[in-house]
Structure 1
Amino acid sequence: MKYINELKNIFSDLNKKQKLHIFLLNILILFIFSMSLFASSLLAIIVKTPLTVLDNLSNTYNQTSYIYNENGKLLEKIDSEEYRTNVPLEKIPTHMQKAFVGIEDHRFYTHHGLDPIGIASSILTNIKTGAFTRGGSTITQQLVRSIYLTNDKTITRKIKEAYLALRLEENLSKGEILEAYLNRINLGQGAYGIQAASQTYFSKNVWELNTAQCALLAGIAKSPREYPPYKTVPSTYLKDDDKIIGNKNVNGEEMYLVLNEKSFQRQRIILNRMYELSLIDENEYKTSLNFNTVESLKPGDLKHHTMSTYSTDYIKSEASKYLAKYYNLSLDEGEHKLFTGGYKIYASIDEDLQNNLEDLYANFTKFIKEGPQDKGSRMLNFSLDDGGSIAYKDETLYFKRYDNFDEDFNFIVTPNDYNISSKGDLKISGRFFRKIGNKIDFIDLYEINENGLLLTYDIGNLNIDSSYADLKKDYLIIDGSFIKDHDDFYRIDENQNLIINPSYTEINKDANIQPQSSALIADNESGFVKALVGGLDVSSKKAKILNRATDSHRSPGNLLKPFTVYLPALEEGYTLGSVFDDIPTTTDEYMWPENYYKSFKGLMTIRDAIGNSSNVVAASILKDIGIERSLNVLKRFNLISENPNDDYFINASENSEKNDMNLDSIALGNMEKGLSLNEASRMYASLAQGGNAPDLTSIIKIEDNTGITIIDNREKKTNVMDEKISYLLEDSLKINSSKDNAPKIGDGKTYGYLGKNRFSSDLWYVGFSKKYLVGTWLGCDSPKISLNTDDNIIIKIFNEIARDLEDSSAEEEIPSYIVKKNICRKSGKLGTKLSEDADANYDEIFIRGSEPTEYDDLYKKYLICIDSKLLSTQYCPAESVEYNVLFERKGGYDPDKHYGIYPEDYVEIPTKYCNIHTKSWYKDHQNDEEENNHKKINSKDRQKKIKKGAKK
């Protein structure tokens, strides 16, 4: 304090000039210190900038990715072929170069990598809007970012980007930079570079494009997800007003290419920008605006990569999804990252388990051949219409294989089914087609082979722009102008049959055996998938065949009940010993629901309701607690998303007539679309994990090309329920393995549940032990064809898969929060000697504090006359009287209120006394007995006299 006062005195003695000098010196010191701090921070960031080779950017385009098992053994090298063809700058038209420079960086030729004017302008724009709406990056900055950096919006990334841009400008000319940029830029739909984009959208080389088409491609650069000329949409999300211009296969699912109006709005902005900058003259500007770019679109086929088996296909598909999510990209772009980014994928697939599973599915027809063939084909139930087609109500599902297609799958139309107008318009009977969005789709084909197996063929679409074809109620009409421009579309043979050129169809000539099946095996200790098969075609070498384990969504039926009904019920305070009545009930003025076992069992605990899969009890519980609690559970498992387009749950806003917002879908699992086997298995895996749901994926971790782990799924789990509730629910699914054909995994305790819906279209079984989970599904690819087989077939398949799994996990100790009580299954209360005598008791577990404290009061002892079945009287003979322990429902049971139907456990407690053994009967019986006794005595006397006479 003394020194501070002295300094103050010294400073007060200084004159104004001296004080100003000291103030300026302090400012200088502070400035130097700040600049030093800024420079050191800047240097620290620059030092961490990735190693670069700036004189040959083409080396950065292709880097091979690798798949390893969890022990580091190389499983597969992923070829780094890209959807890209590099072209030199001299082959890129000047209007393409001008379009990109005009919209992305119009001072490109004057700056040195950074554009101070553009940066200042973007800062002002962002301040005005109050958000980050404009970036101000030059073409050079965008190029180095795409090669070496990420899209993170951080100051660190911007500093690295600026540093690399300045260095790049020192090493390469403007022409070299622009060439690299135009050959690398992401232009949507998996197309990288302007040549790939030209082929993707126009099926032309880049040097064949005009100014309007170049402007369209330049517009995509701002957002490859937002501005491509068309978007890839699955059939389930098509809208009536969508204009479909093509289709392609992504991960085994047919996707439709829907025209995107935003792209053309952006195109007009770019053309206007080019005109304002005098990059094009007024005549070229007007000509480009009037050019019909939509009609010039001709989607090309991108090269997809071969997926050798279901397992490697699955690994690549999963890795693509994780990369897309990590980099905030589309699925196509995530896949591109995988094939070109030099990643190391560590996968959990166990080669031995995978090979065993594939061997079983290679011989899967042995299960189908065991099925009956009396209702269609082996194991399937369908009917044929008068023409021999497989039909459902008024809908044709499959045409006979050879009725209208020959050996080579040429579509042959007989003279009765077509005509050609004087204008050249072609009309074909509409019975061969159906409309999906505005795309004309062929109805698929079938045949039944010599073994009684159903084989189906995917025929796909008629590849005609929707503006030239219109499907009416009875016929398809194709514009004569299209026929004129495509004279190879059809030919007429000598029998006047019209034959469509196969190049205008999307035919898969390989047959699918029906029913199909899928299965997966997961390790419950790690939460990773160890083996997976998505169908019977395990030997296919085609690209991206449909994986029914991950990409097919089907109605789960009973399989859903433990989670949508009993989990929220237990969370609401019910116990496994809570009792409900399985009796006929009324819903919306109808008797609903019915049980699959075609009867009503009466009073039962929740444990028994789960074991019997009672529809009545499930619906009753959900009526009581409300479906909102079930919806909450589905949200926890990510089965309902905030964005309806990201899930398969159908809410009322998506479809007011057919949706899942009802008891039938949520309580009984009869959903409109449903779950994949992977999603259903993940729900059951959460029980094995004590309430924590794993991702249930094959991807353990992913390293980028620098060796940094960017995705790590080890220990990645989401808590979806309390561990105490999980313990109860798991215990309720315990299997009695002593039963014949009981599901069993190894020597450990097995838990599981069978799924079947009211359509009989799908059978599921998901079972698990402490170590393994096995999920399997069976059904026809068309859910409108039902199964004709015993439910036990799915358990047989399950056991075939599980029999080689070794699990000798020791029985775990009962947790301290669990207590066991002997209860009566009709009342849910503590058992008594009477309920025990009635064989109505069993041991139930409870969370401590929720166990019952009252004793059963339903079971009582009655003396019954076995002859009259009424209460015994004093006159009933001893041999006709016995003690019966019976239970009586509180309030009784009135069959008139339940459609005249009695439950199986119904017992009528007699209220009247025996009407056989009356007082008069007793007197008559006594007289008869006296007379009989007298006769017996006289008979004995006579016998004695006879014996005496004989002795004499």
Structure 2
Amino acid sequence: MKSSHFEPGTDGETELIPARRPQEKPQKKRLWLWRAASIFLMSTIAFGAFFYLYLRYADLPPNDIANTSKLVAADNTVLTDLVDGGENRLKVSLHDIPRSVVDATISVEDQQFYNHGGFNPAGIARALWVDIKSGQALEGGSTITQQLAKNLYLTQDKTIQRKLQEALHTLQLEMNYTKEEILEQYLNVIYYGQGAYGIEMAAQTYFDKPSKDLTLAEAALLAGIPKGPNIYNPFFHFDAAKERQRIVLNLMAQEGKITQEEADQAFQEELKFAALKTPKGRAPYFTDYVSYQLKQVYGVAEEDLYRGGLKIQTTLDPSMQKAAEDAVAAHLKNHPDVQVSLISIDPNTGEIKAMVGGQNYAESSYNRTLAKRQPGSAFKPFVYLAALNNNYTPSTRIKSEKTTFTYDDDKGEPKEYEVHNFNNIYAEDYLSFRDAIARSDNVFAVTTNMDVGPERVITTAKALGISSPMKPYPSLALGVFPASPLEMVRAYAPLANGGHKIEPYAIRSIEDTYLEEVKTFQPQKEQVIDPGAAFILTDMMKSVLTDPYGTGYRIHDGFSRPAAGKTGTTDTDAWMIGYTPQLLTAVWIGYDKDRLLSATESHLAAPIWADFMNEAHKNLPEKNFAAPSNVVESFIDPTTGQLATENCPVKRREYYLVGTEPTDWCEEHPSMNKNPVDKLEQEAKTGGRTFWDWLTGRGKGE
């Protein structure tokens, strides 16, 4: 047995090996670290080599510069190309671009363009600092190469994925093209607003000249636009464009491209702009409206919209659009100065089927379907709808005579308001609800407004879709507060569709061929009024077109389908708004600067409406408005508003909300029968009148 105690050099020396093992661990650890570092270094080198080869030789993605965005009608026929590839994109060589354009662009967009490899951290930091100090975005942080990558291959979405893609494509551009080639591409594809891509098209769009003839002042102004094509568009924001031009000129002077004196002289130079060009394509007022909606409502960036690759399907019906344009042209050919608006929608969905915003788009692109004008008596249905929801029925009668009302103004002071009928003609007797609507009696409307309460009328109008300001005055009932034709069709739609509020819309879908995605849009409905009240008012509004005393009766022969409507006339505005179950159309006539309408001009809206509606319905089945379950039918004597007897000379069918129908028999023409309803039911079944009735005029219905 060996002792556990031993001397060095003895046989027990081998037992010292376990004591040395802990000293070998650092050596193994260092070896492992060297191996890991070598593997990491070799992997990094391999990845770097692969990444370089990828950037150097991988193809850049295809761009949509040649694939223009299109607006198509409901039947998929093209309305217009948002950018015409042969006209709005004109390529020009860098050698043919003035030095002033190149210097202005580099000075304002990327002063270190020739010194960086695609990214300029110092420039980004400097731009950020300048913007912070000035409180506004004066300089861009992206380099010219980054902007080119974004405009050629990407959308304007501000996401991390897009930023990474932008960085990748920026490196590819720098590795595959010279600085001159990058700059030439940039100047040929950057967006300058007004649908103009590239400096050549921008020069022609804004100054009606080729880019090689641009002056220093013009070059500086154009160079400032890409930062914000909407903000710095000189056609619409001249002051902002001039301020931006001043910034560009000062930067050029600081960079030594021009002297400060030259900068000052260029800023003082008078700019002579080209005339706004008329866009090609059909329905220009509508396509303008769609473009605005895409940018402002649907969030499509203007650069994405005009760079190409989008197919926007709209709601426009080409045959209805042609009918609208033809009707306007036919009735206004002898009235070249008067203006017009026509908008037609499907009241059940809100789809805009036709839109005419003026007589001549080439002379004025102002879309009058969006202009706010006094609706006059076309506002009265909102008053009457509020009344039907507050104890009024078709049996309600009000005396038509000159009347003065007292009300409190905005300051709470009492005021008097005297209401007048057209030409001061009054019935001097009680009018039925239906007759007051047909004749557009102002006394009935204002009396109803004050009885129900102007605040309730305003609440009703807002619920239907009127968003313009209104005040609780007696004159509210006469449509003195302006509203646009678009607002008016939105507010009339619930009357036509059973009480549902809808939003007129023009875009069905947006297809992005670059992202391979399609966004569709469905109409939204909201029940805002009682369907029975909507039906009753609609039925009474039919008399505007069918009653010989109706203000729209003169067009009855021009459009004979079941329809309801209301005219509206002020000194400067003429309206006709009417609808069937399938189509709702508003026509406005007037002058842009509130010039007085002549007697002839004030009667133009209704025949335009009739001609359009007649043509637009040719391929639609004839329909009548269906009565909802919460209304009942009664025959009344319109002179008393009471149930008609067999002795009433005039018997009129009216509809009532259940529980509001009259229960008393006519007191002026009492029945000799014990049960007058039996006689009436017999008349309804047999066609009504005996020979004696016919001879004496008794039993005559309307």
Category of TM-score, reference length = shorter chain: 0.5 to 0.7
Q: Which residue of 2 aligns with 1:734?
A: 542
Counterpart Cα distance in 2 of 1:694 and 1:89? 53
- How far did residue 626 of structure 1 move? 6.0
**Mapping for residues 13-162 of structure 1, pairs under 5 Å:** 54=60, 60-66=64-70, 68-72=72-76, 79-117=84-122, 136-162=141-167
Residue 559 of structure 1, aligned match among 358, 370, 378: 378
Counterpart Cα distance in 1 of 2:249 and 2:80? 47
- The reply to whether residue 305 of structure 1 matches residue 276 of structure 2 is no
Q: Which residue of 1 aligns with 2:563?
A: 750
Contact 2:377 2:567 in 1 (8 A): yes
Q: Which residue of 2 aligns with 1:291?
A: 265
- How far did residue 546 of structure 1 move? 6.3
Secondary structure, aligned partner of 2:114: coil
Contact 1:65 1:80 in 2 (8 A): no
- How far did residue 557 of structure 1 move? 1.6
Q: Which residue of 1 aligns with 2:175?
A: 170
Q: Which residue of 1 aligns with 2:479?
A: 669
Contact 2:356 2:369 in 1 (8 A): no
**Mapping for residues 845-884 of structure 1, pairs under 5 Å:** 845-846=656-657, 851-852=659-660
Q: Which residue of 2 aligns with 1:593?
A: 419
Secondary structure, aligned partner of 1:701: strand
Q: Which residue of 2 aligns with 1:39?
A: none
**Mapping for residues 355-370 of structure 1, pairs under 5 Å:** 364=331
- The reply to whether residue 773 of structure 1 matches residue 593 of structure 2 is no
Counterpart Cα distance in 2 of 1:313 and 1:203? 22
- The reply to whether residue 684 of structure 1 matches residue 492 of structure 2 is yes
Amino acid at match of 2:444: V
Counterpart Cα distance in 1 of 2:605 and 2:250? 64
More helix by share: 2
Contact 1:750 1:767 in 2 (8 A): yes
Change (3 A) 1:796 1:157: same
Residue 764 of structure 1, aligned match among 538, 553, 575: 575
| Superposition RMSD in Å | 5.3
Residue 619 of structure 1, aligned match among 442, 446, 469: 446
- The reply to whether residue 322 of structure 1 matches residue 289 of structure 2 is no
Counterpart Cα distance in 1 of 2:538 and 2:140? 53
Amino acid at match of 1:592: E
Secondary structure, aligned partner of 1:137: coil
Counterpart Cα distance in 2 of 1:169 and 1:347? 40
Q: Which residue of 2 aligns with 1:375?
A: none
Change (3 A) 1:601 1:148: farther
- How far did residue 315 of structure 1 move? 4.5
Q: Deviations over 1:205-235 (max 9, x none)?
A: 555556665444433332222234x342xxx
More strand by share: 1
Amino acid at match of 2:498: G
- How far did residue 594 of structure 1 move? 0.8
Change (3 A) 1:269 1:839: same
Q: State TM-score, norm by structure 2.
A: 0.67
Counterpart Cα distance in 2 of 1:858 and 1:316? 57
Counterpart Cα distance in 2 of 1:205 and 1:550? 36
Q: State TM-score, norm by structure 1.
A: 0.52
- How far did residue 599 of structure 1 move? 0.8
Amino acid at match of 2:478: L
**Mapping for residues 399-438 of structure 1, pairs under 5 Å:** none
Secondary structure, aligned partner of 2:568: strand
Counterpart Cα distance in 1 of 2:300 and 2:510? 16
Amino acid at match of 1:346: Q
Change (3 A) 1:780 1:562: same
- How far did residue 668 of structure 1 move? 1.0
Secondary structure, aligned partner of 1:592: strand
Amino acid at match of 1:701: S
Counterpart Cα distance in 2 of 1:268 and 1:152? 30
Count of residue pairs brought into register by the alignment: 603
Q: Deviations over 1:408-457 (max 9, x none)?
A: xxxxxxxxxxxxxxxxxxxxxxxxxxxxxxxxxxxxxxxxxxxxx956xx
Contact 1:342 1:704 in 2 (8 A): yes
Amino acid at match of 1:675: S
Contact 1:595 1:616 in 2 (8 A): yes
Secondary structure, aligned partner of 1:845: strand
Q: Which residue of 1 aligns with 2:50?
A: none
Counterpart Cα distance in 2 of 1:163 and 1:569? 66
Secondary structure, aligned partner of 2:142: coil
Counterpart Cα distance in 2 of 1:76 and 1:197? 20
Counterpart Cα distance in 2 of 1:714 and 1:620? 41
Counterpart Cα distance in 2 of 1:123 and 1:516? 49
Residue 280 of structure 1, aligned match among 256, 260, 268: 256
Change (3 A) 1:214 1:173: same
- How far did residue 692 of structure 1 move? 3.8
Contact 1:524 1:771 in 2 (8 A): yes
Change (3 A) 1:569 1:154: farther
Secondary structure, aligned partner of 2:567: strand
Q: Deviations over 1:314-335 (max 9, x none)?
A: 44333323333357589xx69x
Secondary structure, aligned partner of 1:296: coil
- How far did residue 99 of structure 1 move? 3.6
Counterpart Cα distance in 1 of 2:662 and 2:334? 59
Counterpart Cα distance in 1 of 2:253 and 2:605? 68
Contact 1:559 1:669 in 2 (8 A): yes
Change (3 A) 1:325 1:272: same
Amino acid at match of 2:65: Y
Counterpart Cα distance in 2 of 1:792 and 1:545? 23
Counterpart Cα distance in 2 of 1:131 and 1:681? 41
Counterpart Cα distance in 1 of 2:358 and 2:216? 48
Q: Which protein has greater RCO, CA pairs closer than 8 Å, 6+ apart?
A: 2
Contact 1:824 1:835 in 2 (8 A): no
Counterpart Cα distance in 1 of 2:269 and 2:225? 18
Contact 1:213 1:293 in 2 (8 A): no
Counterpart Cα distance in 2 of 1:859 and 1:684? 37
- How far did residue 684 of structure 1 move? 2.5
Secondary structure, aligned partner of 1:291: helix
Q: Which residue of 2 aligns with 1:467?
A: none
Secondary structure, aligned partner of 1:786: coil
Amino acid at match of 2:384: Y
Q: Deviations over 1:36-80 (max 9, x none)?
A: xxxxxxxxxxxxxxxx9749x9x7434345554534456777743
Counterpart Cα distance in 2 of 1:224 and 1:826? 65
- The reply to whether residue 222 of structure 1 matches residue 227 of structure 2 is yes
Secondary structure, aligned partner of 1:109: helix
Amino acid at match of 1:344: K
Q: Deviations over 1:110-129 (max 9, x none)?
A: 44334445566788999999
Structure 1 gaps of 5+ residues are 1-16, 22-27, 33-51, 233-257, 366-452, 456-511, 641-648, 652-659, 863-952
Counterpart Cα distance in 2 of 1:343 and 1:353? 25
Change (3 A) 1:95 1:839: closer
Counterpart Cα distance in 2 of 1:694 and 1:778? 25
Secondary structure, aligned partner of 1:63: coil
Counterpart Cα distance in 2 of 1:592 and 1:682? 31
**Mapping for residues 380-391 of structure 1, pairs under 5 Å:** none
Secondary structure, aligned partner of 1:685: helix
Q: Which residue of 1 aligns with 2:351?
A: 528
Counterpart Cα distance in 1 of 2:493 and 2:342? 14
Counterpart Cα distance in 1 of 2:479 and 2:564? 20
Q: Which residue of 1 aligns with 2:437?
A: 610
Secondary structure, aligned partner of 1:220: coil
Amino acid at match of 2:381: P
Counterpart Cα distance in 2 of 1:275 and 1:791? 60
Structure 2 gaps of 5+ residues are 1-24, 30-35, 41-57, 407-413, 671-702
Counterpart Cα distance in 2 of 1:718 and 1:149? 38
